[in-house]
């Protein structure tokens, strides 16, 4: 079945793109449940809106003695301390709260410690709408690659003509190496891995153009340097559309 344009009629009249983006990671996890070898697990990761770090204060025991709790203006032993009086800041700019939009699947190696080995990133419009958002997404993918995590980028967003895969290649100093960079399409999928090969590092990518009206490609999902399984985008996409009554 063909790729739909989920940002224009008729597809967006039936279900919003958020519905598909929220459903698809779960369908990918269901497929990977059948194909991942023993010792690996996959989990969906969907995060919307403002991202807040865990408040470390919540880990403070209520039984801790009051003298052990820090209060402004006092040292650990309760004695008075001098507070620093800050001068005017060098920069003071009002900014919008940082928002993290993530639709992804993470694959972990559970042998020993649970280690992230692969990430499937489904691009949202929010990842492409402003330079800082694009830079944040690209930097995240580059950081994962440098940590030895394979990364698949899947982009169905037809309303913004940016290609985050080619921007990723440029970010890591390989701009123009992929034929896709000559005329970057808005919709595409790519699988990337970067790791040691002998005494050198080697970047390998498998990129595919995705076109509305055509079937989605399959990509290699690398779990180790010598182990990959097939990521069947078409099957999981069709199942997500079916479950959402998208024809």
What is the per-residue pLDDT across 102-141, written as a single tens digit (0 to 9) for each? 899 999 999 878 999 999 999 999 999 999 999 999 999 9
- Say whether pLDDT at 99 is over 60: no
The share of the chain scoring above pLDDT 90, in percent, equals 68
Residue 70 forms part of a structural domain: no
What's the pLDDT score for residue 56? 32
DSSP label of 139: H
Residue 131 forms part of a structural domain: yes
Q: What is the domain range of residue 117?
A: 11-49+96-243
What's the pLDDT score for residue 71? 54
Alpha-carbon span 73 to 242, nearest angstrom = 61
Residue 74 forms part of a structural domain: no
Residue 83 forms part of a structural domain: no
Residue 105 forms part of a structural domain: yes
Beta carbons of 191 and 222 less than 8 angstroms apart: yes
What's the pLDDT score for residue 112? 72
Give the count of beta carbons closer than 10 Å to the beta carbon of residue 32. 22
- Say whether pLDDT at 59 is over 70: no
Q: Which two tokens stand for residue 214?
A: 């055509």
What's the pLDDT score for residue 198? 74
State the helix-helix crossing angle for 164-171 and 131-146, rounded to 10 degrees.
60
Q: What is the mean pLDDT of residues 31-38?
A: 96
Residue 71 forms part of a structural domain: no
Residue 134 forms part of a structural domain: yes
Find, among 232, 221, 215, 189, the residue nearest to 37 by Cα.
Answer: 221
Q: How many domains does the chain have?
A: 1
Residue 6 forms part of a structural domain: no
- Say whether pLDDT at 230 is over 60: yes
Note the pTM of the prediction, 2 decimals. Answer: 0.80
Task: Dump strand ranges (E) for the chain.
Answer: 40-47, 102-109, 115-123, 150-155, 188-197, 200-209, 218-224, 227-232
């Amino acid at each position: 079945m063909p790729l739909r344009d989920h940002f224009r009629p008729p597809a967006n009249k039936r279900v919003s793109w958020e519905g598909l983006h929220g459903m698809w990671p779960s369908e990918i996890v269901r497929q990977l449940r059948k194909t991942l070898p023993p010792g690996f697990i996959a989990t969906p990761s969907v995060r919307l809106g403002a991202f807040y770090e865990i408040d470390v204060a919540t880990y403070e025991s209520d039984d801790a003695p009051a003298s052990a709790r820090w209060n402004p203006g006092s040292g650990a032993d309760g004695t008075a301390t001098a507070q620093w009086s800050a001068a005017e800041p060098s920069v003071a700019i009002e900014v919008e709260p940082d928002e993290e939009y993530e639709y992804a699947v993470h694959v972990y190696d559970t042998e020993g410690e649970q280690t992230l080995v692969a990430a499937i990133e489904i691009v949202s419009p929010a990842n492409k709408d402003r330079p800082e958002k694009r830079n944040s997404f690209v930097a995240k993918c580059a950081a994962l690659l440098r940590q030895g995590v394979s990364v698949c980028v899947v982009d169905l967003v037809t309303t913004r003509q940016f290609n985050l895969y080619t921007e990723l290649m440029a970010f890591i100093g390989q701009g123009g190496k992929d034929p896709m960079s000559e005329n970057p399409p808005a919709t595409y999928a790519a699988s990337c891995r970067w790791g040691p090969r002998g005494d050198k590092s080697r970047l390998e990518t498998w990129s595919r153009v995705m076109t509305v009206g055509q079937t989605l490609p399959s990509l290699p999902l690398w779990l180790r340097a010598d182990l990959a399984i097939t990521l069947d985008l078409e099957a999981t996409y069709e199942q997500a559309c079916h479950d959402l009554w998208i024809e």
